[in-house]
Structure 1
Amino acid sequence: MDRMTEILCRIDDVLKCPRCDLSLSRTNVVIGSGPLDARIMLIGEAPGRNEDKQGKPFVGAAGKVLNLVLESAGIRRDDVYIANVVKCRPPENRVPKKDEIEACSVYLKKQLEVISPKVVVLLGKTAAESYLGRKVVMGEEHGKPFKHEDRTVVITYHPAAIIYNRKLKDALESDFKVIRKAALE
């Protein structure tokens, strides 16, 4: 068990969390991974099938895209902390419901508190809208750092979007160069 898991387990026994119906169908709780002193924290939507099986974030096809994008921006995956808005896989990989996001928000808030990243990267519309509490227009807002609750935040496309729309690859790679620069400032 890693240190973050230990910290969260002491708070609310996240590994046995019954806070929403996602607990009924999960295989594993996917808390997150990465160093507790990471300057960059990536927040995605929810675990997928591979993540649910392995208990780790971004290990499936989207994880492979994420690894390539991080590498192209000169960022080591081992240097970032990766989490999701919800910690259990929604059935059929559907978008998490509002009550599920709210149920998991205590865990994400604690992760942000413990990691205290310089830059928070919101991967996709669901993560961005959940974190910011407002509607997001991806085409207009991605790749533009801004301050939110005393942190630099960058909204970008979810790596899975590249799998379905290759035209977004350049935008995602460009956004991660902006993210790297923001983390180094």
Structure 2
Amino acid sequence: MTADPTWKGSVLDAATALALLDWQCEMGVDEAMLDAPVDRYAETPAAPAIPDAPSSPPPPPAAAPQGEGLPARAAALAGGADTLDALARLQADFEGLDIRRGARNFVFADGNPAARVMVIGEAPGEEEDRQARPFVGRAGQLLDQMFAAIGLSRTAPDARQALYITNVLPWRPPGNRRPEPAEIEAMLPFLARHVALADPQVVVLMGNTPCQAALGRQGILRLRGQWTAAFGRPALPMTHPAYLLRNPIAKREAWADLLSLAARLQDGAQP
């Protein structure tokens, strides 16, 4: 029902206006419009609206390619690097992995590139992502203590007492999750070139992800302490310091692995 807002009287006080409004509401008035009442019964009924056909949902945004072509692209780029600085620039600009978009920093390496020992970890964590350096959180502090026990340090200027440290992935995965197989495969050419350019005598594989990348195997608790070969040089799998923080009892086996590494270095690190 439509109310006629026209009032013929000469004076309309507030009380009268409110009384009229209440009366109109009781009569079913729901809106006021135009200058004269509208007879709704005389109107031609409108044709029922035909609902629009449901639109199909938009296709999901295309993800960055992470398939077959990435390792080949990475290998082509990495193979063109003649120095570690050049490799770092090429890898930092490589857009094949989505995780780079959510990371604060590209984390390449730390320590002395001339070191006899190259430590390969998994991927940057929160603190590593913030500082753009590998192994600087709690696990990194433990790693420094572990290798200091056999006379090795990332800050040592002498290559014989130095460490060189990197990761399989140079960007922090979301939520510190483990790297996915496709991510490991895509970064493997860069890692292999990194090892070739640094040319260490010994490679230490810290945890499952480096073992997966370098050896194609996992199961660090079975692999640890057993010398093998990776990237054309002696390699020693070891439990990651983060595991040792959660399982202090495993530090005994880690100490045995460190002693084995020191003995191999004493012998000249021959395969």
TM-score by length of 2: 0.62
Q: 1:89 to 1:148 in 2, by over 3 A?
A: closer
**Structure with higher RCO (Cα < 8 A, 6+ apart):** 1
Identical residues among aligned pairs (%): 34
Counterpart Cα distance in 2 of 1:16 and 1:140: 37
Assess if the C-alpha contact under 8 Å between 1:51 and 1:58 holds in 2. yes
Q: Secondary structure at the match of 2:259?
A: helix
Deviation, 1:9, is 4.0
Q: Is 1:19 equivalent to 2:93 in the alignment?
A: no
Superposition deviation, residue 61 in structure 1: 0.6
Q: Does 1:28 align with 2:105?
A: yes
CA distance in 2, matches of 1:47, 1:17: 17
Distance 1:105 1:148, change over 3 A: closer
- Please, which moves more after superposition, 72-81 or 58-67? 72-81
Corresponding residue number in structure 2 for 1:88 = 171
Kept in 2: contact 1:73–1:173 (CA 8 A)? no
Query: 2:168 and 2:237 mapped to 1: Cα distance?
Result: 14
Contact 1:38–1:117 (CA under 8 A) maintained in structure 2: yes
Counterpart Cα distance in 1 of 2:231 and 2:195: 11
* TM-superposed deviation, 1:138: 2.5
> 1:20–1:99: 8 Å Cα contact kept in structure 2?
no
- Residue 137 of structure 2 aligns with an amino acid whose one-letter code is G
Aligned-residue Cα RMSD (Å) equals 1.6
Shift of 1:103: 2.0
How many angstroms apart in 1 are the aligned matches of 2:231 and 2:142? 29
Aligned residue among 94, 115, 123 for 2:198: 115
> Is residue 99–residue 173 contact of structure 2 (8 Å, CA) maintained in 1?
yes
Paired amino acid for 2:176: N
Within a 5 Å distance, the mapping from 1:16-95 to structure 2 comes to: 16-78=93-155, 79-95=162-178
1:139 corresponds in structure 2 to: 221
Cα deviation, residue 140, structure 1: 2.9
Q: How many residues were matched structurally?
A: 179
TM normalised by structure 1 equals 0.90
**Does 1:7 find its partner at 2:7?**
no
More helix by share: 1
Q: Higher Cα Rg: structure 1 or 2?
A: 2
The residue correspondences of 1:170-185 to structure 2 (distance < 5 A) are 170-185=252-267
Distance 1:148 1:18 in 2: 27
Q: Distance in 1 between matches of 2:221 and 2:170?
A: 27
1:114-169, Cα deviation, whole Å (9 max, x unpaired) = 111111100011211221112x3323321122234531110000011011111111
Which sections of structure 1, spanning at least 5 residues, go unmatched? none
**1:143·1:156 contact (CA, 8 Å) conserved in 2?**
yes
C-alpha separation in 2, matches of 1:89 and 1:56: 11
Does the 8 Å CA contact 1:20/1:100 hold for their aligned counterparts?
A: yes
Which amino acid counterpart does residue 34 of structure 1 have in structure 2?
G
